[in-house]
Structure 1
Amino acid sequence: MDLAPPKDKYNLIFLTLIVHGIGTLTAFNMFITAKSYFEDYKLKNTKEYSDNFMAYVGWASQIPNLFFGWFNVFVKMGGNLTTRIIWSLIMEVIIFVVTVILAMVDSTEWPEVFFWLTMVTVFILNAFNAIFQNSVYGVAARLPPSYTGAVVLGSNICGTLVVLLSWASKSFDNVRTSAIYYFIGGMFVLLICFDTYFALPLNRFYRYHDTLQQRTMRVNPALAATNPDASPGKEHTPYGLIVRQSWLQLYNVFITFFVSLTVFPSVCSNIKPIDKDFFLGDNYTLITCFLTFNMMAMIGNITASLWQFPGPRLLTLFTTSRLVFIPFFLLCNYLPLDRTLPVWVTNDWVYWVVSAILGWSSGHASSLGMMYVCGTVAPEHAATAGMIGAATLVTGIMSGLAVTRLCPVLVSLSLWRAA
């Protein structure tokens, strides 16, 4: 094999990893963006479930994502990365078929059963998605750092595409028909991921970097244990060393997603306009929350690939400073009917602009953090570091979702009445 450094012709591998990045968050984004379908249509007769749907779907999504994300780091489930990716995608497609069937049937008489069936499908779907996401980052880590950024870019493009898909599906007069085509669209994305993965070994650029890693393993057999595609042996992966070398960037990944998921989507989707005649009308939440965050996060990924600033050391200051977003959005017109905390942000444009900054900084910081994680360890440990970074990402999401449950309590404390 010719080992002269080839180029990624037409950026095919970069684009393929963007597609797989889209696939890593398709399941989660599809369900949270379909908030109106579940709350106002399927569960409209069960207030307890409709009022708490976002919280339930968040937990059902992220608990398996967290568990299987870390489990996949330490236990090489189902063999090599290829086997794990392919079988995960197959199972996700099957579960999406079940979701489409549930959208087809009339569940008016059994909304509680529908709710729990949905939660079970979300749980299983995200368990397989955790394995898929974790493994995709492992594959990307074999390539130059920008390719890990491609996966993060894809994950943020996903949110924008899902919002646009949701918008397009609403062109149908019937809510059930809209939901069917909406979820079929998500299934189509996963099928594209399935097809494009098989094209990776056919590409000369990918084979070159894969061969470099395999040669490293042959030169030093002790390093083979760090290869996710290697068979289990007597040597152990030096997880402690990898974490010690990359802990600062792992913190950056964690805190970025912690802040983002604390306020998005649960807090931001419940912020109402101050001006009742604000020009966005009924699309206020869809645009200022979902579309703005996801589109700006996508732009943030692009800026990170073009401009690697802040550097590995200063990135920590940038990610930590984002904690200010949490009190800011709580001081917006969040849960106006239930809050006792005074609303300090009384301008819809200010809220919208800061919402855009939240999205951009999330995409920029998360992309840089994931790229830096793989660069802080030896090349033979990069794949494992990428998988740990992906698991840390999910941990940040889960922690943010846990804290966001406290937000309604914080803004409705009786002590604010006396203040």
Structure 2
Amino acid sequence: MGLIRRLFQSEDDETSYAPLEGGSERPDGERTHDEEQREYSRTDYYVFLLLGVAMLWAWNMFLAAAPYFQRRFDSDERLLRNFQSAELAVSTAGSLGSMIVLTKLQANASYPKRIMSSLILNIVVFTLLAISTRAFLGVSAGAYFVFLMLVVFGASLATALCQNGVFAYVASFGREEYTQGIMTGQGIAGVLPCIAQIVSVLSVPPKQTQEGAPQESSKSAFVYFLTATVISALTLLAFVYLLSNPRSREQLRPTLDDEDEVDVEYGAVTHKSIPLMTLLQKLFWLAGAVFLTFAITMFYPVFTQKILSVRDPATSSRLFQPAAFIPLGFLFWNIGDLMGRVIPGIPGMTLTARPRVVFILAVCRLAFIPLYLLCNIGGRGAVIGSDFFYLFVVQILFGISNGYIGSNCMMGFVEWVDSEEREAAGGFMSLCLVAGLTAGSFLSFFAASA
């Protein structure tokens, strides 16, 4: 009941939700200065950018590889229809469970160790997935589905470790620029795998199964999945360099209380645990906004892998054939998402000082879901027969709204908590993000039957 009463409180009542000293932007848009903020480093920014890329690279590779998985499941209609939703459900459920456990273990957390563990796990998982494109090609669709769900679950554990570790670790720096770098890196991680998928399809001769499911060669798929291993390995090296930098370690020291115990090598800190309800009370609007934003977003992967070009397949170019057009749809959405994540980095373009406005914008994103029903789902025809409408209006605008609102949520939470609560708040906001993804992934099964 307390939360319901707060929901209907007037905008002027900010006693329980007011920006704390050191917030980066006042309600009038003027920037403020945080005496505890550390000196900005462009090198550190690029390391966090790369961490953002690695965090969602694996996730987006699974989505953009839909044509390859369609090939592997074309002998089983039920798996072919539902594998995308199953991927989303297993991935987000695994991430949510892991995030809950990791958030509860915040008191003695070593966030750098969690980040490194996630990168190592991603290297193992995607090496196995790459090998699967060259070996055991004769296994049944059901057996491959079990293998795919296992690697998806492994990748979800890595994502949870990375999200929890990175957002908590960057919060201790007290600089929104680094958080914005992470969000931008996540946007880049959505764009590049789609480009790699399209190039891999267009660079090999076209193939079609008897059922017409789009295909690509196992060789190109091997190279495609192996890039995730390379990205994770490069990020691991960059992060180790960041940890070895004495200046970066010194930046963290002033944010800790005198009685805190610090692991100098890995930044592990022993401090009091912050109750989740305390964080919810302070971050109610931003936590709710990030939950709704990513819950609604989870409908787009299911629709995107089903929507085809309105052009005649017999006469259109290969770019508009399903094997290339599906990742093209993902590419346009992720271009919009990247644009949305970059916009908050422009002075005066953030809404971190207006959390209730961010929440209202998150609710308004529901209007995008009916727009997908106007497109060419499953080749059955489109109400609006235009690829331009699908790619530029639906996909790009939906992506921009996701990137912009999500970035405002993840950049702005540090303004509403005390300095000693920043790391715990970073883990809490990541938990809300993954909870939204999980809720949306299970709701996406309704879209799969559309």
Equivalence map 1:27-106=2 (5 Å) = 27-40=58-71, 42-76=72-106, 79-106=109-136
Match for residue 128 of structure 1 among 158, 182, 195: 158
Work out whether 1:351 is the aligned partner of 2:351: no
- 384 and 278 in structure 1: CA distance in 2 versus 1, 3 angstrom threshold: farther
* Percentage of pairs with the same residue: 21
Give the CA deviation at 1:294: 0.7
* Matched-pair contact (CA < 8 Å) for 1:257–1:393: yes
Q: 2:428 — aligned with what? A: 388
In the other structure, the counterpart of 1:362 is: 402
Residue 83 of structure 1 and its aligned partner are, at CA, apart by 1.7
Could you list the per-position Cα deviations for residues 204-234 of structure 1 after superposition, in whole angstroms to 9, with x for gaps in the alignment?
A: 66334311212xx216x69xxxxx9323x7x
What's 1:274 paired with? 310
Deviation at 1:166, TM superposition (A): 1.6
1:28–1:4 CA distance, 2 compared to 1 (3 A): closer
Aligned AA for 2:387? D
Q: Is the 8 A contact 1:374 1:382 kept in 2?
A: yes
Q: Does 1:257 align with 2:288?
A: no
Question: In the TM superposition, what is the alpha-carbon distance from 1:408 to its structure 2 partner?
Answer: 4.7
| Alpha-carbon separation, structure 1, partners of 2:447 and 2:127 | 35
What is the CA distance between 1:147 and its match in structure 2?
1.4
Could you say if the C-alpha distance between residues 365 and 82 of structure 1 is closer, same or farther in structure 2, counting changes exceeding 3 Å? same
Matched-pair contact (CA < 8 Å) for 2:340–2:401: yes
Change (3 A) 1:329 1:393: same
Cα gap change, 1:309/1:154 in structure 2, threshold over 3 Å: closer, same or farther? same
2:214 is equivalent to residue 175 of structure 1: no
Task: Provide the C-alpha distance between the structure 2 equivalents of 1:397 and 1:109, rounded to a whole number of angstroms.
Answer: 31
| TM-score, length basis structure 2 | 0.80
Q: Deviations over 1:169-216 (max 9, x none)?
A: 3325671111111111010011111111112234466334311212xx
Q: CA deviation at 1:244?
A: 0.6
Amino acid of the structure 2 residue aligned with 1:286 = P
Q: Which of 147, 155, 171 pairs up with 2:178?
A: 147
Question: Is the Cα contact below 8 Å between 2:81 and 2:448 reproduced in 1?
Answer: no
Q: Supply the distance in 1 between the matched residues of 2:111 and 2:187 (Cα, whole angstroms).
A: 23
Shift of 1:109: 4.0
Is the 1:249–1:312 contact (alpha carbons within 8 Å) kept by the matching residues of 2?
no
1:158 and 2:168 are equivalent in the alignment: no
Inter-CA distance 77–43: structure 2 relative to 1 (3 Å threshold): farther
Q: Which residue of 2 aligns with 1:320?
A: 363
- 1:286 aligned to 322, 327, 330, which one? 327
Output one character per residue of 1:4-38: Cα deviation in whole Å (capped at 9) or x when no partner: 976434x1111111110111112211112111111
5+ unaligned residues in a row in structure 2: which ranges?
A: 1-34, 206-215, 262-266
Q: CA deviation at 1:108?
A: 2.0
Structure 1 unaligned runs (5+)? 223-227, 412-419
The answer on whether the counterparts of 2:310 and 2:386 sit within 8 Å (CA) in structure 1 is: yes
User: What count of residue pairs does the alignment treat as equivalent?
Assistant: 391
Asked whether the equivalents of residues 65 and 327 of structure 2 are also in contact (C-alpha less than 8 Å), the reply is no
Asked if 2 retains the 8 angstrom alpha-carbon contact of 1:6 and 1:208, the reply is no
The reply on whether 1:308 has 2:330 as its aligned counterpart is no
Q: Which residue of 2 aligns with 1:414?
A: none
Which of 409, 418, 436 in structure 2 is aligned with 1:378?
418
Post-superposition offset of 1:79: 4.7
Q: With structure 1 as the length reference, what TM-score do the two structures score? A: 0.86
Equivalent-residue separation in structure 1 for 2:220 and 2:170 (angstroms): 35
Q: Is the 8 A contact 1:138 1:383 kept in 2?
A: yes
Matching of residue 241 in structure 1 with residue 278 in structure 2 = yes
Q: 1:56 to 1:384 in 2, by over 3 A?
A: same
Would you say the 8 A contact 2:82–2:448 is kept in 1?
A: no
Q: Is the 8 A contact 1:294 1:359 kept in 2?
A: yes
Q: Deviations for 1:329-362, whole angstroms, at most 9, x for unmatched residues?
A: 223333454x9xxx54343322222221111111
Distance 2:325 2:127 in 1: 31
| C-alpha separation in 2, matches of 1:77 and 1:97 | 33
Report if the CA contact (8 A) 1:19-1:193 is conserved.
yes
Distance 1:22 1:78, change over 3 A: farther
Question: How many Å separate the matches in 1 of 2:183 and 2:37?
Answer: 25
Aligned AA for 1:8? Y
Checking the alignment, whether the CA contact within 8 Å between 2:340 and 2:403 is kept in structure 1 is: yes
Return the alpha-carbon distance in structure 2 between the equivalents of residues 273 and 128 of structure 1: 35
Compute the displacement of 1:107 (Å): 2.4
